Amino acid sequence: MTQHFPALLVTAPLLCALLVSIAGWLRPRLCLPIALVGLGVATLAATGMLAQVLTSGPIGYRLGGWDPPWGIYYFLDQLNAVVAAVVAWVALVNLAASHRAVQADYEDKQGPFYTLYVLAVTGLLGMVATGDAFNLYVLLEISSLTGYALIGLGPNRAPLSSLNYLFLGTIGASFYLLGVGYLYIVTGSLNMADLAELLKPLYGSLAVTTAFSLIVVGLWMKMAFFPLHAWLPNAYSQAPGPAASLLAPLMTKVMVYVMIRMMLSVFTVDFVGTQAVLQQAVGWLAVAAIVAGALFALAQRDLKRMLAYIVVGEVGYMVGGAWLGNRIGMTGAVLHLINDAVMTFCVFLAAGCIFQKIRGTAFEDLQGLFKKMPWTMAALAVGALAIIGVPPTCGFFSKWYLIRGGLEAGHWGFVCALLFSSLVNVVLFFRLFEIAFFEPMAEGNGHGDHHGHAPAVAIAEAPLSMLLPLMAAALGLVALGLATGPLVKYVITPVMPTGLW
């Protein structure tokens, strides 16, 4: 059983997606339980594999028994084992929280929703686990297509935003495919480990550089790296709650993972190190992404849109860290990848809870929310602290490594951008908290009359089925933060290539 975990990771949710879609026709009430079982098995497999990888080293798995490099090979080392575990857990917890919101937002389309949901997670998990460059493309498209549909099922603008996302996403995926094509031309292989070996003598080749550029640009489009981010804010802010809290934390993060995997395991840091101009350019693009994300977020007057732009900035953190060209920066990027998945999840889920209760996330709607939804707001506050980077939440520690990486590389622009974005995040969230805390204004202005009770607002919290997962996410942020030491030592350091200092 345990040796088939890698297959289970993908096949269990895939089969369940089929069952869910059948159940959608026959017994819609069974959709959620079946989906939960599918993702539960995948989560179990992911967690089991993480434990396995940590105790006895990387796992390889030949799909269908075909040997690499001909067959599709799943390969899990510490890096993707932990990413897979995070993806599976976030998806599972979000699914558990989705029940009421799906009833409200998708009404008669529960069957399709859960089918798409499980398929999207299948794609994400597969992308993380696969060791085959073309298989990755297929899985990428599975998760993207289901993602478009999940967003497109939303109200108002959502179909149009989703279609725009589809256009850009398809261009991105096509670029990736093209890049893989070039790699195939020069090496005749699609297996990542095989590619890494075969590419070594070819580092000077223009074709390899072209392939690398195409792949990286394609991935940037998919992860919404500034200035290719245009699709993200609309898509994520108009997606219905459960879809947004699935895609926003996971989609971009998995794409960042793929980029890092390409940089570390396919092209290797020796090759990336030779692309000095590109490295410089990406460093400054990351700075631009962070600053632009922060400034755009400042201009928003809606919680979900603000969060979407924060995601744009966060992508800049990770891309920048990965391209600093040193071990600490890369450590920071990987750490932030894990942390950001959980913290984005936490804040989007909180936004989902708020939407569930007051049917809106515009700033004006948030008045008096600390009174009305104290627990949701507490969780949002914890998420905010993580995004700002206040210890002991996990955001602090990844920022710590990223800033250190920037210092090590002498990239002051990146360091300043990170600090700037932290400060802007303080403004962003406390501006929102001010509205939720002070408004509607108490009677009197503090002078003389100190009896100014705020108008009595009854507590009207989100349903417990949403609140408990939200609390789990918020606690997870602190737990992840305190686990930084082992995480870096046992998970991230072993996968850092020796060529990286």
Partner 1 sequence: MDMAQYIPVLLTKYNYWVYITLMMIGLWAMIAKNNLVKKIIGMSIFQTAIILFYVSIGAKYGATIPILRHGHNGAHEAIRTVDYINPLPHVLMLTAIVVSVATLGVALALSIRIHRRHRTLEEDDILTQLREP
Partner 2 sequence: MSLVHSIVPLLAVLVSLAALPGIILARGRPNLRETVTFAAAGLKLILVASLLPYLLNGQEVACDLVRVLPGAPLAFKVDAFGLLFALVSSSLWIVTSAYSIGYMRGLDEHSQTRYYCFFAVALSATIGVAFSANLFTLYLFYEMLSLATYPLVTHHQDAEARTSGRKYLFYIMGTSIGLALPAMIIAYQQAGTLAFSPAGFLAGKVSPLMAGVLLFMFIFGFAKAGMMPVHSWLPAAMVAPTPVSALLHAVAVVKVGVFCILRVITGVFGVGLLKSLDLGLAVAWVAAFTIIVASLIALSQDGLKRRLAFSTIGQLSYIVLGLALLSPKGMIGGSLHIAMHAFGKITLFMCAGAIFVATGKKNISEMTGIGKRMPWTMAAFLVGSLSVIGLPPAGGFISKWYLVLGCLQAGSIGLLVVLLVSSLLNAAYFLPIVYRAYFKPPSEAAWLEGRHEGPAAAWVPPLITAACSLILFFYPQPFLRLAQMAVAGLGGGQ
Burial zone of 34 (CB within 10 Å; 0-12 exposed, 13-18 middle, 19+ buried): buried
The window from 130-138, 263-271, 367-375, 471-479 that contacts partner 1 (CB under 8 A) reads 130-138
Contact track, partner 1, 438-477, x by CB under 8 A: ----------------------------------------
Q: Pick one of 28, 58, 391, 494: the residue that binds partner 2 (CB under 8 A).
A: 391
- Residue 352, judged by CB atoms within 10 A of its CB (0-12, 13-18, 19+), counts as buried
Candidates 43-51, 121-129, 198-206, 401-409: pick the segment binding partner 2 (CB under 8 A): 401-409
Q: What is the largest CA-CA distance in the chain?
A: 81
Name residue 133's amino acid.
Answer: A
C-alpha distances in Å from residue 318, one per residue of 310, 392, 399, 420? 13, 20, 10, 16
Environment class of 226 (CB within 10 Å of its CB; exposed 0-12, middle 13-18, buried 19+): buried
Rule CB under 8 A: say whether 482 interacts with partner 2: yes
Residues with Cβ within 8 Å of 157's Cβ and at least 6 positions away in sequence, in order, are 234, 238
* Interaction mask 150-179, partner 1, x per CB under 8 A: --x---xx-xx-xx--xx--xx--x--xx-
State the Cα–Cα distance between residues 303 and 205, nearest whole angstrom: 47
- Please list, in sequence order, all residues whose beta carbon lies within 8 angstroms of the beta carbon of residue 134, skipping any fewer than 6 positions away: 180, 190
- Residues touching partner 1, count (CB under 8 A): 27
Residue 187 in the binding site for partner 1 (CB under 8 A): no
CA-CA distance, 327 to 404, in Å (whole number)?
10
Which 409-438 residues touch partner 2, going by CB under 8 A? 415, 419, 422-423, 426, 430, 434, 437-438
**392 in contact with partner 2 (CB under 8 A):** yes
Nearest approach, Cβ of 351 to partner 1 (angstroms)?
21
User: Using an 8 Å Cβ cutoff, are 154 and 105 in contact?
Assistant: yes
User: What minimum distance in Å lies between the beta carbon of 195 and partner 2?
Assistant: 34
Residue 363 is a binding residue for partner 2 (CB under 8 A): no
- Closest CB to partner 2 among residues 206, 441: 441
Q: Which of 121, 145, 272, 467 binds partner 1 (CB under 8 A)?
A: 145
The one-character DSSP state at 364 is G
Min dist CB 174 to partner 1, Å, is: 5
Reference 46, options 97, 9, 7, 99; nearest CA is 9
- Range list of H helices, 359-411: 369-372, 374-388, 394-409
Residue 91's closest CA among 327, 277, 249, 283?
249
Least distance CB 231 / partner 1 (angstroms)? 12
| Nearer to partner 2 among residue 71 and residue 440 (C-beta) | 440
Contact set with partner 1 (CB under 8 A): 134, 137-138, 141, 145, 148-149, 152, 156-157, 159-160, 162-163, 166-167, 170-171, 174, 177-178, 181, 184-185, 188, 190, 206
Contact set with partner 2 (CB under 8 A): 385, 388-392, 397, 400, 403-404, 407-408, 415, 419, 422-423, 426, 430, 434, 437-438, 441-442, 444-448, 450-454, 481-482, 484-486
